[in-house]
Structure 1
């Protein structure tokens, strides 16, 4: 493989901005575009400081989960899709593309997005925009508690995008990038599926409780890094503006973790770029090619687990497909499905 010079990556900790109190899509879009302009300025200033500090050129920026809109709350799924979900070719992506192009970097983030193949709903989407200004990776969150996922429309989603669209890996000039959304960092199968398709860098957009104590997500980030021999660049929100929730409820602990599971840099609270570090992809690739007990990827024996996984599906596929048609859910649909899953697992003696 072609050698890749070390480069700087930053988990940019910024406040998400709720659209809950805005009246219509025009107002929402105006706020999102204004915020993207602000982010462009912050990224440029951060890159200048990182190089002055002695770092390598900034080539990868990861933004937090749903930074443009915050979470939907109790707004109905079709109403939120209409009001705030991004179009796949919308002006917000174009604006972020201009930032990536002007600053010669890869810009990763997370947004709610509507897909014309699935009208009336949205998916929570992780994206990576390349220095060309084009989207080079689009990953839809697969495990969510209160929002539609590709698995909820599984048969139709595979018809449209195939498995390549479910676990995409972008092979880029700075390494092979995959995305993990928010609490999905707690599910090792998702990271492992990406790693088995070649991922070397996990970009992780999150909005989570920050704490000086070790939270489940903080532990999981380190585990996903060393068990897959991959970097994790995890950006948390610096609070959520304009919502009913106290501002700093999801704030702090953005982090860059190396392929041995060691934090290289971690932020405190507030808006900051201080979670930045150099990524050395050549060193990662050397580690993956070494024989020894710590080469966890090479030591996988996946056939052992295939029969167990094949016989189990606690969360059912196609919960939003009824008689071959897409069903628009209410918010409580997902709780009802989970209640049925728990009842079945108890009956089968699993729990």
Structure 2
């Protein structure tokens, strides 16, 4: 294509390093600035990754040369920063979730529409070779008509490894809002939108203890459910089961499996870009590994930003787009609400299934 767009990155925490490493490799993006409320942290990342400018958030938003803001702030300010960037005339790519509340998520999308700008939303692992190969297998009929799915994210919380894990246990956190987007985005890309959910959720432990050396022994009060089980009714007619948990020490459950009328598909970890992928066909006694047929199988976080940049330049809709981000946000809240009220929740948001890579 030849043309490049300039990126300004806001939020220089843990996740920013892989973005700053990968973004320059895509050929359609130049990273021209990074910002953080802690200016020294921004300066360190700029120095480590060769970014020309480190500055305050306000200064970055005022830079005319910035075309896209990559918003890597904590979830509670995702919407605020995204709206400020849109007001400044910048396209936005935001880490998951799109926002903490549905209302804020709608505000982001409405502001983008008002300004005629694009919004992209993580996760972009769905654009990697593993999930894209699985999508082609389903679309080409390798397992027949999809009738059901299971998805499991089973672990024991980030307090063992994250230096500042408090926000994981506050409103907008928990295993559903932290890891659920990877699983829901994958299911949506593979099977399409979700029309109704049922949920059951609990806070298994009212307090967590940090075992990461940076804040060892710190006590964190838990404000959000940490074990959530959901039933997902897809618009296509398929029925899914989703469990996300920070309360499990070990599990042999698969990451994601899709069950069709003529076979079953084992989908790789949706928090990664690669494999393995396995299929078990009807009447077969064994699973068979399937080679990956699409690019991007390593940790290529930032791929969604590159896809957004190409969308801006060509006019097509981004694949990891804001509508998908909002649909995921709507579903996550609905699962929690279903548990609270003891009834199904109809999903009122809808979307077109994103186009596959290569089209």
TM-score by length of 1: 0.29
